[in-house]
């Protein structure tokens, strides 16, 4: 990988005004550096606001936290991919653990979303990861491979447009973080799986997420096969997030 990605998942925080205030402070402290991109996944109502604020900064991308696979229809409460694209989104999270475990999204749902995002010319960031029970039973790789099945059947050109985030469920918002060695093992397995599908495995970004903080960030981003991070709570402080995106390799 020649590009490192620092992605912020704001979850259900910061509306349009909050996004404006955040970005005003963030851009005062942010340094654009070669070989890295900063991605934001804001709330749906703040997406267009944020996209407009960074329109002239190609190294900063904005994406949606969730999308429906249908382009339109009677799906109350859902957001379509054409809608987020019109609002300025370049990417969309797919299969985040909270969508799987809180809202009951299935592997089949994530597969539909991945294909729909690609069909509309955006980047899917597929999230995969195991629960603590699955980890303790030695099923981490089995679970991750099953979830990677959302990419099965895609051709190499389509796979080359995908980004993957390994987020062990037991580490999200808990303060616990997989060791760099544990994360590298899973990331390496993901790359091998991608290679088996005929994908350009070494150039597909594979990020780590799960209680990423300033104190563990550098160790993670300097570990083999980790191409960046997907960060939740620590990305909500604009000064701190600006400093994190400047972390040296």
Distance in angstroms (rounded) separating the CA atoms of residues 233 and 210: 10
Helix (H/G/I), strand (E/B), else coil: 34: coil
Distance of CA 181 to the CA centre of its chain: 21
The secondary structure of residue 126, as a DSSP letter, is E
Range list of β-strands (E), 65-171: 91-94, 123-128, 163-166
Strand pairing partners for 206?
164
Helix (H/G/I), strand (E/B), else coil: 64: strand
Distance in angstroms (rounded) separating the CA atoms of residues 44 and 55: 17
Asked if 182 and 143 count as a contact pair (C-beta separation under 8 A), the reply is no
How many other C-beta atoms can be found within 10 angstroms of the C-beta atom of residue 29?
A: 14
- In the annotation, is 167 catalytic? yes
Asked if 130 and 168 count as a contact pair (C-beta separation under 8 A), the reply is yes
Kindly calculate the radius of gyration of the chain based on its CA atoms and give it in whole angstroms.
Answer: 17
State both tokens at 63: 């994406």
Selected catalytic residue, list 66, 68, 96, 187 = 96
Distance in angstroms (rounded) separating the CA atoms of residues 176 and 183: 13
Active-site residue set: 96, 167
């Amino acid at each position: 990988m020649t590009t490192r990605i620092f992605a912020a998942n704001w979850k259900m925080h910061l509306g349009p005004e909050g996004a404006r205030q955040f970005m005003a402070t963030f851009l005062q402290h942010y340094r654009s550096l070669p070989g890295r991109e900063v991605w934001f996944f804001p709330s749906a109502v703040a997406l267009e606001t944020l996209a407009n604020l960074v329109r002239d900064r190609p190294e900063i991308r904005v994406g949606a936290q969730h999308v429906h696979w249908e382009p339109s229809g009677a799906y109350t409460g859902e957001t379509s991919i054409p809608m987020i694209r019109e609002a300025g989104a370049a990417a969309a999270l797919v299969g985040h653990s909270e969508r799987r475990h809180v809202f009951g999204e299935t592997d089949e749902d994530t597969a539909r979303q991945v294909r729909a995002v690609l069909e509309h010319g955006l980047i899917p960031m597929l999230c995969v990861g195991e629960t603590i029970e699955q980890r303790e039973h030695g099923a981490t790789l089995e679970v991750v491979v099953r979830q990677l099945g959302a990419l099965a059947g895609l051709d190499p050109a389509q796979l080359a447009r995908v980004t993957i985030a390994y987020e062990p469920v037991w580490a999200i918002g808990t303060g616990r973080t997989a060791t760099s060695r544990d994360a590298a093992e899973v990331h390496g397995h993901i790359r091998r799986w991608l290679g088996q599908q005929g994908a350009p495995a070494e150039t597909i970004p594979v990020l780590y997420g799960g209680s990423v903080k300033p104190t563990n960030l550098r160790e993670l981003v300097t570990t083999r096969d980790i191409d960046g991070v997907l960060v939740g709570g620590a990305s909500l402080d604009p000064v701190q997030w600006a400093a994190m995106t400047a972390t040296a390799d």
